[in-house]
């Protein structure tokens, strides 16, 4: 025999499995069923969007280092999943992202020029995957999709060795 309870919101008799645990509630369960609680939560979020947004911004600002660290840990644990999610989003939003970037460049021409130069220097300095792919695509006439990961690492090692030899020669 299952124990049942009446929801104080919808007044329906439901089994205890339809209620969330609440230690200070009668019998250790919430007075409203899970469905009513879900609807209440959605309604609250809808009516208090600005308040919630302000609280989140404050929290994010106060805990920036903690959040960045947590994101890095999550990314490292789920790297493949995150890379797939990111590339999927880029494929699906390619045109809108291109429009957004072009609008920003028009509004901020000086920043755009210095930013793109700085980013290009960083790509070359750090030998990023995108820079490696760009070099290999140019040299081998491959597309990004055809590019094996091992080839990127070989090219990166080749450039590092060439840089080291140049440094030792000077």
Residue 101 domain flag: no
- Six-digit token pair at 68? 């960045």
Residue 31 domain flag: yes
pTM for the whole thing?
0.46
- Residue in 34, 45, 29, 28 with CA at minimum distance from that of residue 9: 34
State the pLDDT confidence band at 135, using cuts at 50, 70 and 90: confident
Find the domain containing 131 and state its range.
127-170
Residue 70 domain flag: no
- Six-digit token pair at 152? 């990127």
| Predicted local distance difference test score (pLDDT) of residue 24 | 84
Cα-Cα end-to-end distance for the chain: 86
**pLDDT tens digits for range 111-122:** 777 777 777 788
Q: Domain boundary residue among 52, 73, 88?
A: 52
Residue 32 domain flag: yes
Q: φ, ψ for residue 63 (rounded to 5)?
A: -115, 30
Residue 168 domain flag: yes
Residue 19 domain flag: yes
CATH code for position 29: 3.30.60
Q: Rounded distance, CA 73 to CA 55, Å?
A: 24
Residue 36 has pLDDT above 90, yes or no: yes
Q: In the chain, how many domains are there?
A: 2
Answer for the pair 68, 54: CB distance below 8 angstroms, yes or no. no
Residue 146 domain flag: yes
Residue 164's alpha-carbon distances to 24, 114, 127, in angstroms, are 67, 28, 14
| Predicted local distance difference test score (pLDDT) of residue 26 | 67
- In 10 A of CB 36, how many CB atoms? 20
143-162 exposure pattern, b = at least 16 Cβ within 10 A, e = fewer: eeeebeeeebeebbeeeeee
Angle, alpha carbons 143-147-153 (nearest 5°): 140
């Amino acid at each position: 025999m299952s124990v049942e309870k009446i929801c104080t919101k919808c007044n329906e008799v439901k089994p205890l499995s339809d209620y969330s645990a609440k230690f200070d509630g009668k019998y250790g369960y919430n007075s409203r069923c899970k469905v009513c609680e879900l609807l209440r939560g959605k309604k609250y979020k809808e009516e208090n969007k600005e308040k919630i947004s302000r609280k989140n911004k404050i929290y994010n600002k106060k805990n920036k280092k903690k959040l960045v660290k947590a994101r890095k840990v999550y990314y490292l644990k789920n790297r493949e999943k995150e890379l797939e999610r990111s590339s999927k989003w880029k494929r699906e939003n390619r045109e809108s992202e291109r429009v957004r970037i072009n609008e920003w460049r028009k509004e901020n021409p000086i920043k755009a020029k210095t930013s793109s130069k700085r980013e290009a220097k960083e790509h070359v300095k750090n030998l990023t995957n995108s820079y490696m792919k760009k070099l290999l695509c140019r040299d081998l006439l491959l597309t990004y999709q055809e590019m094996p990961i091992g080839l990127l690492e070989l090219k990166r090692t080749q450039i590092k060795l060439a840089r080291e030899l140049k440094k030792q020669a000077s």
